[in-house]
Each structure stands twice: as C-alpha cells, then as structure tokens.
A and B are shown apart, each in its own frame.
Chain A
Amino acid sequence: MLPLATAVSLLLSLILYALLGGADFGGGIWDMLAFGPRAARQRKLIAGAIAPIWEANHVWLILAVVVLFTGFPAGFAVMMTALNIPITAMLIGIVLRGSAFIFRNYDSQSGPGQRHWSTVFGIASILTPFSQGMILGALATGQIRVADGHVSTGFFAGWLTLYALACGMFALGLFAFLAATYLTLDAKGQPDLQEDFRRRAIWSGIALVPIALVVLLASRHGAPEMFQGLTRWWAPLLFGATGLCGLGALGALWRRLFAAARAAAAGQVTLILFGWSLAQYPNLVTPDVTVENTCAPETTLRLLLLALGAGALILLPSLAFLFRLFKGDERH
C-alpha cells in the first residue's frame, strides 16, 4: 500500500506540474511565435499571466524529484545515471528559461535586450518540455537495463529512440495547446487577443492528433510493454474519455466557451498522464526497476506521506489564495 501511495503522490505532482508549469512553458513557445500587428500585446499578456505564478508552478517539479529520491532512491539513481544527458539538457533549459523570463521583466523595457531575452526564453521553453517528454518516453522503452543495481546499458539507451523523440514532440504540442487555451481566459476583455489565442489553441489541438498517433504506433516496437498496457481492458475507456475531453476542448474553443475549454483541456492532460502511468505501472524504468523493488523502507515512506499530507494542509489554501488573487477575475 505505502509504495503505491507514494507512487500516486509522485504522479499527482507530475500532473500538477504539467497542468501548471507545462502551461508556462507553452506560454514561452507562444511568446517566441508571437507575430503580426499584435505581437507586442500578445507577449505582454503572456508575461502578465505567468509572472506571479511561475515560481510556484515550478515547485511541482522539485516536489516530484524529492518524492522520487526519497521514496524510490535506487530508482532515482538509475534514472539519473542512464538519462544523465537529456536531464542535463532539461536543466539547462530550466535555468535559461527562468532567468531569461525574470531578466526580461526587469531589464529596461526598450532596446535590444528585450528581444534577446525573448529568444532565449522561447528556445528554452522548447528545449525543456521536449527533453521532459523524451525522458518520460525513455523510461518505457525497455532499453535501459540494470544489472546488480548498476545501469548496464550506458548513457544513450532509450532516449534517442523514435518513440522517445515522438514523446518529446507530444509534450511540446500538449503544453502549447494547454497554454493557448488558458491564455484565451487571461485575455478576457481584449477580444482581438482572445481570437488570436483561440485560433492558436484550435490549430495546436488539431496538430496533436497526428503526433499522438505517431507515439502510439512507435510504442508498438519502441515501448512494447507500454503498448501492451495500452491494449488492456481499461484502455478503450481511457482513450474514449481522453478523446472526449480533447474534442470537448476543441468544441468549446470553437464556440468560445473558454472556461469550459480550459476545464476540458486540463482534463485531457490529466487523463493522458493517468493513462501513461497505468500502462507504465508497476515499472518505473521498464523492465528492471519497479515501484516495489526500489522503494524506500516503510518508515521512510510513512513519514514522507505524512509530510506530504501536512504540507498539503498549508499548501493548498495558499495556492488557492494565489490563484484567486491573480486569476480570480476571469471566473464567470
């Protein structure tokens, strides 16, 4: 029970990271792709939407890492060894993105500095989610092997496969879609911007479909255990629900029901990660590293869960306060 509960809390922090932090990366992508007569206003909207919350959103990743290394220390060691290279790339992206964003905000508002920081911010916003997708993809390939507690397949296994690369693309598209959908709400009161992001949301939502198909097809050979998982009895239900959410989000965008679109898009992302975790379970790194064979002793897990529960008591009201304060106006 305890290992499973720890794994679930790991999954929850990942989902929240994707829903909140992921959207911030998407914002960076749209910042870089801003074009046309309203580009400057689009950037301003994105900056305003991210600024007060990005630091808090980012902590979900830290929480996920901490839960991972406390709850599954040996699994953490394996991942950090085998995936050292893409994880380092992700970290460089995180450093560049966070600092470029804040530097741009505090640099003089005119001059070339702004444009340079925007470029760095955009590139880093692509590098990071792409690496993240690749890392999660690599875990399922079954190519990372462990012998006597040590990684035996070197430092390039898994993450350079078609499947992992497709996962990277998928994460990128997903975050862009999520961000554009959220931004339609942040743009409330500026109908022209709202239309810009509505269009972007719809296009990126549609573009996700072929990428998802590539991921699925690539998983057949690239991540066979994952593929098998996705053909179990619950899979059609899950695919159905995810598809419904996706269609619902697109439909709501089409009809300009932006709050509903946000809910549906968030639901879609949640279901995708949930489905991924079901297909992955009980493996952390397929096939050698599992939840059971790398978990920390019970005392640690019990204390960890206790700390997470107590932390949540402080955290959730504070977060609610933060979002009420800065995102509350848009609620209908």
Chain B
Amino acid sequence: MSDFFFARSQMAMSLAFHIVFAALGIGMPLLMVMAEGAYLRTGRPVYLELSKRWAKGTAILFAVGAVSGTVLSFELGLLWPGFMGKAGAIIGMPFSLEGFAFFTEAIFIGVYLYGRSRLPPLLHWLSGAVVAISGVFSGIFVVTANAWMNAPAGFRIVGGKFTEIDPVAAMFNPASFHEVLHMTLAAFAATGFAVAAVHAFFLLRDPASLFHRCALGLALAVACVSIPLQIASGDLSARAVGRLQPAKLAAMEAIYRTEDGAPLLIGGIPDDAARTTGYALVIPHGLSLLLADSASARVTGLEEYPRKDWPNVRIVHWSFDLMVLSGFAMLALAGWSGWIWWRRPPLAGHPWLLRSLVAAGPLGFLAIESGWVVTEVGRQPWIIYNVMRTEEAVTPLPGIAVPFAAFTVLYVFLAFVVVGLLRHLFLETPGADPQLPSA
C-alpha cells in the first residue's frame, strides 16, 4: 500500500475522530445552557445538578476536541502541502475566523466551568450561551472551507497559477449554505439522540429518577426538533450536489447510465465493470422525482465521465444509504416519542421506547460519519473539485504508515479513556433524589 493511501487514511481517521468531539462541542453546550436556564426559571435543583453534570462531560469532550483539532490544522500541511500551498490564501480566511470562534469558545468555557462561584447566576448562564454560540460558529466557518473544496469559487487559474483571489467569494461558495445548514443540524440531532440514549438507559434501571427524566426530556426536545429539519435539509443537499457535482450524485445513487426518469436505487451492489447495480430495491422514477419534482427529469450517470474521474461507487453509495437509513430511523423514533409525550406521558413509563432510544444512541454519529464519507470520498479523485487532483497535493514524505499508525493508536487509546471517564461520570449520577450535594 502506498504512502498516498496512508496519507488519505490518516486524514480520514483524524477527521472521523475529531468530528465526534466537534459535533458534541456544538450540541453539548446547548443542552448545558438549556438545563441551567430551566434552573434559573424554575429554581428546581435537579436542573442545576443536571447542568453541572453535562458541563463536566463537556469539559472532557472539549479538551479532546481541541487537541484533535490542533492536529488537523497542522495535518492540512503535513499531509497536503500541495493543496495548502495553493489554497491557503483562498480559504485561510474562514480558518482564521474559526480561530477567533475557538478563542471565544475556549475563553468562555473556562469562565463557565470554573467561574460558577465567582459570577452572578445570569452572567454565568450568559457565558455558557457564548460557548454554545461560538461552537456553532466554529462549525460554520470550517465547513465553508470544506464546501469550497466541493464548489471552488473566488479565483481564476492563469497558466497554472491561482490569481484574482477573492476570499469572500470563496467563503460564500455555492456549496456553503447547504453544507453548513446540514452539518449544524446534524450536530444537534446526533448530540440529542446520544444524550437521550444515555439517560434512557438509566431510566430503564430506575424509572423513578427525576434527574434522568428531566435529562431525557431536554435531550429529546433537541433531537426531535432537529431531525425533521435535518431530513429536509438533506433533500436540499442532494439537489445541490446534483447541480454542483453530478458525478458525486451519480455515485451516491449508483446510477451508471444517463436516463430520463431515473429510478431510486436503495442498497444493491454497484458493479463498475458491468456498469449496473444489482440486487437493489428499485423505486421507478424515484430519483428524478426527488431531485427535480418531475417523473421524467434527466439524471446524469457516471458513464458521462472518464473512468479515471469516478469516485469509489460502492463506498459512496452504501455510505449514503446508511446516512439516509439512520436519518429515517431517527425520524420514526422522534415521531414515536413526540406522540407519547403528547398523548400518554411520562416517557419514562414506556420501556420499549426507552429501549429503542438506547439502541438509537449511535445513529446520529453513524449518519455524521457516513455523511462525511459521502462528501469526501464522493469528491475523489479531486481534492479541489475539477481543479486539483488529490495525488498532486500529497506530501513527498515516505513512510506515512508510521505517523498513521501512531495517531491511530493514540486516538483509539484516547477514545477508550474518554468513554471510561464519561461512564464513571454517569455512574455516579444521582438516583431518585435530586437534592444531592453539588459536585
């Protein structure tokens, strides 16, 4: 296996690791602020306790997010100097704005975590709100940089050189809006379902626990509001990809031939050599309807592109289906919870709902990971779509297997420790008695 392969794997592994903490870093502060807000409004101590527990969890996750993010900022150059040497001047701007969002976030998370006794309650709550808002902004800025790789804008190429650089146009490129929207909602949905799963788990053991009931309520509120929006925004993303990156769309849908009235293929085994997808669930005209609201609309197939410009169709198609499947599973669960909440509360009295919520805990993150695989692998062989190929960008350094192995071991180890610490944190959560001494 080549150094190029290991460079790609190292980038993918680092990002796949970071995105978990990044998404929680966007979602957790919201939960923590909601809990503290509920305490300020109602004065019920259980909400104070809840916000303290969630803040502790956030502190651990945030630290790992910060260090893995630092690694990424260097890795952009360590692994892809050919890319950063040219693109730095164009997309550096969102990264520098992101830097300030991090600063704000890091400052106020210090204030929030350690300043509870030093600040009046409202100011303390506000500092939490600043963390939540700047978390969203860091996500927004960095995703615009990724969107630029998919829909490059704000420059011209003259004789192999990038000229007439316009960083503002690059930041507001045609892919920014849908990617930013979809990613931000993804962070809320995934955090909501993951946190709901933890508290549903404890409620199964101890259905009377006020602490876990309140926690489940808040987490589900975030999850149930964001998931329908997320699916709508996914539709928006798919249409945008159809316009901006038709080859990626064809790979997502495993469509080899250009057709009027293209079917929607779910699952199946794409076969590049035969240019067909076997064993799929076929919904006639489905894709044309979804993309263009017309049963006979034309959808471009992969055959229009030279073979060397195809991404790995199987990975992209299966990842896409995985994301969509997870999305609809979460939507169903949100519907079920909402219905129970409306008709037959409390939620804690429904063990099958609780069990399903526990099972659905990882789904949001599964969808985030597979969604990013769709975006990134689907863009291949380009690092900047239709402008620069990924292999032109890679570092000449030999032996990339070594740092790849080192960071993989390091991250697997960190993941174990984080899970252990969070487990520890939750196992000592209060049971039925909300009036526990504060931590």
A-B contact pairs, 22 of them (CB 8 A): A52-B114, A62-B99, A65-B73, A73-B87, A73-B88, A76-B77, A76-B85, A80-B395, A81-B396, A92-B406, A95-B68, A95-B71, A99-B414, A103-B421, A106-B425, A108-B424, A300-B89, A307-B96, A307-B100, A311-B100, A322-B111, A325-B119
Cβ–Cβ contact B103 & A69, under 8 A: no
**In the assembled complex, B261 has its CB within 8 A of some CB on chain A:** no
**In the assembled complex, A214 has its CB within 8 A of some CB on chain B:** no
Cβ–Cβ contact B417 & A99, under 8 A: yes
Known: A91-B70, A92-B406, A95-B71. A69 touches B95 (CB 8 A): yes
Shortest CB-to-CB span from A100 to chain B, Å, is: 9
**In the assembled complex, A8 has its CB within 8 A of some CB on chain B:** no
Chain B 398-413 interface residues, beta-carbon cutoff 8 Å to A: 403, 406-407, 410
Pick the most buried of A61, A71, A76: most chain B CB atoms within 10 A of its CB: A76
Known: A73-B84, A326-B110. A94 touches B396 (CB 8 A): no
Shortest CB-to-CB span from A16 to chain B, Å, is: 11
Cβ–Cβ contact B77 & A80, under 8 A: yes
Interface with A: B160-168, B364-372, B381-389, B430-438, which one? B160-168
Q: Can you list the 10 inter-chain pairs with the closest CB atoms, starting with the nearest?
A: A70-B92, A73-B88, A80-B77, A77-B85, A296-B89, A311-B100, A77-B81, A102-B63, A55-B106, A98-B67
A58 to B71, CA, bound (A): 12
Interface with B: A230-238, A241-249, A274-282, A312-320, which one? A312-320
Cβ–Cβ contact A70 & B63, under 8 A: no
Cβ–Cβ contact B167 & A299, under 8 A: yes
**In the assembled complex, A308 has its CB within 8 A of some CB on chain B:** yes
Interface with A: B54-62, B290-298, B304-312, which one? B54-62
List residues of chain B with CB within 8 A of the CB of A87.
Answer: 74, 78
List residues of chain B with CB within 8 A of the CB of A97.
Answer: 67
Cβ–Cβ contact B89 & A70, under 8 A: yes
Cβ–Cβ contact A81 & B395, under 8 A: yes
**In the assembled complex, A213 has its CB within 8 A of some CB on chain B:** no
Cβ–Cβ contact A56 & B73, under 8 A: no
- A177-196: CB near B (< 8 Å → 1, else 0) gives 00000000000000000000
Shortest CB-to-CB span from A56 to chain B, Å, is: 4
Cβ–Cβ contact B106 & A69, under 8 A: no
Cβ–Cβ contact B66 & A55, under 8 A: yes
**In the assembled complex, A293 has its CB within 8 A of some CB on chain B:** no
List residues of chain B with CB within 8 A of the CB of A330.
Answer: none
List residues of chain B with CB within 8 A of the CB of A99.
Answer: 63-64, 67, 414, 417
Cβ–Cβ contact A51 & B114, under 8 A: yes
A127 to B417, CA, bound (A): 22
Of A58, A70, A91, A314, the residue contacting B66 (CB under 8 A) is A58
**In the assembled complex, A53 has its CB within 8 A of some CB on chain B:** yes
List residues of chain A with CB within 8 A of the CB of B63.
Answer: 55, 98-99, 101-102
Of B90, B106, B396, the residue contacting A56 (CB under 8 A) is B106
Shortest CB-to-CB span from B312 to chain A, Å, is: 27
Shortest CB-to-CB span from B117 to chain A, Å, is: 11
**In the assembled complex, B343 has its CB within 8 A of some CB on chain A:** no
Cβ–Cβ contact A77 & B82, under 8 A: yes
Cβ–Cβ contact B77 & A79, under 8 A: yes
Cβ–Cβ contact A67 & B84, under 8 A: no
**In the assembled complex, B93 has its CB within 8 A of some CB on chain A:** yes
Cβ–Cβ contact A300 & B167, under 8 A: yes
Known: A59-B106, A81-B395, A99-B63. A315 touches B88 (CB 8 A): no
Shortest CB-to-CB span from A331 to chain B, Å, is: 15
Cβ–Cβ contact B102 & A91, under 8 A: no
Cβ–Cβ contact B70 & A66, under 8 A: no
- A273-300: CB near B (< 8 Å → 1, else 0) gives 0000000000000000000000011011
CB nearest neighbor in B for A67: B96
Shortest CB-to-CB span from A110 to chain B, Å, is: 13
Given contacts A84-B397, A107-B424, 13 further A-B contacts (CB under 8 A): A52-B114, A56-B107, A63-B96, A67-B96, A77-B85, A81-B396, A95-B414, A103-B60, A297-B163, A300-B92, A304-B96, A307-B97, A307-B100
Cβ–Cβ contact A77 & B70, under 8 A: no
List residues of chain A with CB within 8 A of the CB of B115.
Answer: 52, 325-326
Q: Which residues of A contact B (CB under 8 A)?
A: 51-53, 55-56, 58-59, 61-63, 65-67, 69-74, 76-81, 84, 87-88, 91-92, 94-99, 101-103, 105-108, 149-151, 155, 296-297, 299-300, 303-304, 307-308, 311, 314-315, 318-319, 321-322, 325-326
List residues of chain B with CB within 8 A of the CB of A74.
Answer: 85
Known: A314-B100, A318-B103. A55 touches B77 (CB 8 A): no
Known: A55-B66, A91-B70, A311-B97. A77 touches B92 (CB 8 A): no
Pick the most buried of B88, B165, B421: most chain A CB atoms within 10 A of its CB: B88
Pick the most buried of A58, A91, A319: most chain B CB atoms within 10 A of its CB: A91
Shortest CB-to-CB span from A75 to chain B, Å, is: 9
Shortest CB-to-CB span from B105 to chain A, Å, is: 8
Cβ–Cβ contact A52 & B113, under 8 A: yes
**In the assembled complex, B355 has its CB within 8 A of some CB on chain A:** no
CB nearest neighbor in A for B63: A102
A308 to B368, CA, bound (A): 32
CB nearest neighbor in B for A63: B99
Pick the most buried of B60, B73, B76, B395: most chain A CB atoms within 10 A of its CB: B73
Pick the most buried of A107, A296, A318: most chain B CB atoms within 10 A of its CB: A318
A171 to B114, CA, bound (A): 30
List residues of chain B with CB within 8 A of the CB of A150.
Answer: 396
A96 to B68, CA, bound (A): 10
List residues of chain A with CB within 8 A of the CB of B165.
Answer: 296-297, 299-300
Cβ–Cβ contact A73 & B85, under 8 A: yes
List residues of chain B with CB within 8 A of the CB of A55.
Answer: 62-63, 66, 106, 109-110
List residues of chain B with CB within 8 A of the CB of A78.
Answer: 81, 85
Cβ–Cβ contact B73 & A318, under 8 A: no
A155 to B395, CA, bound (A): 11
**In the assembled complex, B275 has its CB within 8 A of some CB on chain A:** no
Of A69, A106, A297, the residue contacting B56 (CB under 8 A) is A106
Shortest CB-to-CB span from B123 to chain A, Å, is: 10
A71 to B96, CA, bound (A): 10
Of A66, A81, A98, A299, the residue contacting B95 (CB under 8 A) is A66
Cβ–Cβ contact B110 & A315, under 8 A: no
A78 to B397, CA, bound (A): 12
Cβ–Cβ contact B100 & A325, under 8 A: no
A211 to B77, CA, bound (A): 32
Cβ–Cβ contact A70 & B95, under 8 A: yes
Shortest CB-to-CB span from B403 to chain A, Å, is: 5
CB nearest neighbor in B for A150: B396
CB nearest neighbor in B for A64: B99
List residues of chain B with CB within 8 A of the CB of A53.
Answer: 110
Cβ–Cβ contact A70 & B70, under 8 A: no
Of B87, B88, B113, B397, the residue contacting A155 (CB under 8 A) is B397
**In the assembled complex, B41 has its CB within 8 A of some CB on chain A:** no
